[in-house]
Amino acid sequence: SSDRKGKSRTPSYLTFDDIGGQDRAKNELKEALDFLIRHEEIRKFGIRPLKGILLTGPPGTGKTLMAKAAAHYTNSIFVSASGSEFVEMYVGVGASRVRDLFKEARSRAAKEGKDSAIIFIDEIDVIGGKREGGQHREYDQTLNQLLTEMDGIHTSETPRILIVAATNRKEMLDSALLRPGRFDRHIQVDLPDKKGRMHILQIHAKNKPVSTEASMERVAGETFGFSGAQLESVMNEAAIYAMRDDNPEIAQKHFSLAIDKVMMGEKTDRESTM
Ligand code: ATP
């Protein structure tokens, strides 16, 4: 579909304030991004430029949001692709897709007058899995092309390019990806703690009529182990229950129903894959 080809399908106007919890990950990421911003000093000190940041952690914790916020924070072009897009590609197509991704980043930066670009690759493990025993051969060229492009990045060129990749399975990655000068900065994005869950709920409550009687602290307390994506679902489902009740506001009972629903949904998902 055209959506798949359009790597730029996600314009990024997302900021770090739109991401709940994750304070440590956000700070670590900002610190790393300063390498992109303070490029002149980096060069003066002869510091190796930062080319790749790896975001690791469970699904739905906000890794994609982080990458988009990073683009906004550094005033960069945002270009993205997902490892799973390469799955059904013929040999050689994946490699040219990688080349195109870098080309697009450079041409869009030139067109839009930006001097840096962030290329986000979600599910990097799909193309960057360990290459032992002749497995993943169909992805070898794709991975090699990515490594070649990364090695070809220079700080003196405009736009400066930073690759942000995400994975739920860091231990699966080929060591070639993790070498210095490649994805050598790792940031763990964990499931949110209670305070983080409250913050995420508040973010997603912004455009919703939540009753003052409903306690987000209670909802956060009852959603131990939920990801940001699941909390977004809870907020959405609670609004649907309230609407079905013809209630003008979302009440505590709607949140209780929504939590059960999201929990059950996860359970059936898991059972169906067993
Ligand atoms: P995956 O590994 O499955 O790709 P991810 O870690 O990239 O997941 P995102 O795509 O960033 O997760 O998050 C999915 C959705 O969940 C977001 O669009 C947002 O609505 C919600 N979400 C996740 N984490 C957060 C968060 N920390 N703050 C606010 N919303 C969040």
Kindly report, residue by residue over 140-192, the tens digit of the pLDDT.
Answer: 888 999 999 999 888 778 899 999 999 999 998 989 899 998 999 999 999 99
Q: What pLDDT, in 10s, does the model give residues 84-135?
A: 888 767 777 888 999 999 999 999 999 999 999 999 999 999 888 776 655 5
Task: Say if ligand 1 is within 6 A of residue 159 CB.
Answer: no
CA of 155 to the centre of ligand 1 (A): 31
Pocket test for ligand 1, best of 198, 232, 233 (most atoms within 8 A of CB): 232
Atom number in ligand 1 closest to CA 230: 16
Pocket test for ligand 1, best of 13, 14, 61, 203 (most atoms within 8 A of CB): 61
Sole residue written with tokens 């997902």: 82
Q: Please list the residues that pair with 55 across neighbouring strands.
A: 166, 187
Predicted model pTM:
0.89
Tell which residue, 82, 74, 103, 107, has the closest CA to residue 10: 82
* Residue of the CA atom closest to atom 30 of ligand 1: 228
Say which residues have a Cβ less than 8 Å from residue 103's Cβ, sequence separation at least 6.
none
Question: What is the reported pLDDT for 90?
Answer: 74
Tell which residue, 199, 230, 218, has the closest CA to residue 21: 199
Task: Say if ligand 1 is within 6 A of residue 81 CB.
Answer: no
Task: Say if ligand 1 is within 6 A of residue 12 CB.
Answer: no
Give CA–CA dist 27/24, Å, rounded. Answer: 5
Query: β-strands 116-122, 160-167: how paired?
Result: parallel
With a cut of 80, say whether residue 267 has pLDDT above it.
Answer: no
CA of 33 to the centre of ligand 1 (A): 20
Give CA–CA dist 207/209, Å, rounded. Answer: 7
Question: What is the reported pLDDT for 268?
Answer: 61
At 12, is the pLDDT very low, low, confident or very high (cuts 50, 70, 90)?
very low
With a cut of 50, say whether residue 201 has pLDDT above it.
Answer: yes
Q: Which amino acid appears at position 205 of this protein? A: A
